[in-house]
Amino acid sequence: MELTRQQLLLDLYVAFYAARRGKASRSYVIKWEQNMKQNMEELCDDLYYRRYKPLPSKCFIVEYPKKREIFAAMFRDRIVHHLYFNYTHGLYERTFIQDSYSCIKGLGTHYGIGRIRDFCRKESRNWQRKCYVMHLDIRGYFMHIVRKRLLEIATGSLRKMATHTVSKGSDKTWEDVLDMDFLYWLTQEIIMLDPKRDCIVVGDPEGWIDLDPAKSLRLTEDGRGLPIGNLTSQLFSNVYLNVLDQYMKRGLKCRYYGRYVDDAAVVSHDKEWLLSLVPRIREFLQTELGLELHMGKLEISEVHHGVDFLCAYIRPWRTYVSRHSLERIKDKLALLDFKKPWKVLRSVNSYLGIFQHTASYNLRRRLFMKKEFLSIGVFDAGMTKIRDRYLFYNLTTNENGKQSIRTQNGLRTRSRRCESNHRRLRADKVEQDQLRMV
């Protein structure tokens, strides 16, 4: 299919609203929208006539949760990244294995934790025999990706999938719905960009003094590295290591294998077999991808002693929040501003969303059953969500400041339910059913 300028412009507007989501109040978004029609037309012309060149990125250091070097693309380039992602992510994901968990809709960390837990249960025969998990990590992954090799892999995947059908039962192929020549060109422009060239350094230059050289793109050799912070970098990180995934599944016959970005895990009851894989994986990474296995983080854990994977601690019949994640959450809770209760409620609900995937009911009680949290909200029976205590009072008054009889009855019912909730969170089934109706 040959992409028309009108269709490209429509796709750019879709990409713009995706890039704008959650950042509408930022100064660079407001500046772009002040002359939006002209900006979008110019960007469309640059792409359509193959004149597009990325602008210099901003480079800065972030300290939390660990020190990292970030390259942030300009907003114009972020729109292009979302455009490319919208075009290609479905095509690339068709080439991935099921157990590649990162940056794929419907998967993610909780899915990955569940898969590794199921692997451990199956390999240990329902926790009845010894089972081991080998954790693999790649040293300075994003900073050491060979861009020419990545371009070969990415374009090879595009060419391979071009003649495949878009979905089961469909007669259309990818080349029928996408302009493949346009994608080949745009792939090269994005991948072969050297983010170090003319980058704008933001912040104190001394911030790089104690940064690990393996985690700095500015200190790597030419031709290597993808900027952390770009949407396309997350996509291409999966494309690059898909070569390793295929080798682990088909070459080494690792039945129980999963990967999240550069963190991978292999599950087996045979510890000696796991150890025999290490030199073969090291050689493959070095020769095929130009990467180095981080031997300092190589770890083989027995499942009955616990396995730390993706911020979860997996043990037989139960899963806990990892110690490092819990410490970070406690640090964040100590910084909450209770003068802005709506922000506190959002933060607490996000943490409860993490906790509800683990065996952590008593931990949630210790963290959140405190006066400062109970003064602004009410927890449900399972402590999986907190609700605004004053929401009805703020939204249900009429013009005279009075409430209807129906509203008053609803508030009395809610008040009684709140008091019961505070006295004992494990309510009976009747109260739980009433709570769901609110």
Average pLDDT, whole number, for the chain? 84
Q: Please state the rounded mean pLDDT for residues 155-168.
A: 88
pLDDT at 9 over 60: yes
Count of helices and strands (H, E) across the chain: 17, 12
What stretches of 163-261 show up as alpha helix (H) in DSSP? 174-177, 180-191, 231-246
Span 19-49, pLDDT tens digits: 999 888 889 999 999 999 999 999 999 999 9
Distance from first CA to last CA of the chain, Å, rounded?
51
**DSSP secondary structure letters along 145-190:** -BHHHHHHHHHHHHHHHTTSBSSTT---BHHHHS-HHHHHHHHHHH
Q: Please state the rounded mean pLDDT for residues 416-426.
A: 46
Span 233-242, pLDDT tens digits: 999 999 999 9
pLDDT at 147 over 50: yes
- 164 phi/psi in degrees, rounded to 5: -85, 150
Peptide bond into 65 cis (omega under 30): yes
At residue 71's C-alpha, the angle toward residues 66 and 72, to 5°, is 110
**DSSP secondary structure letters along 15-42:** HHHHHHTT-TTSHHHHHHHHTHHHHHHH
Q: Which residue has the higher pLDDT, 205 or 319?
A: 319
What does the block give as tokens for 258? 């999963």
What does the block give as tokens for 163? 């003649």
Q: Tell me the longest C-alpha to C-alpha distance in the chain.
A: 78
Amino acid of residue 403? Q
Q: How many Å is the Cα radius of gyration of the chain?
A: 26
Q: Which residue has the tokens 């907003």?
A: 75
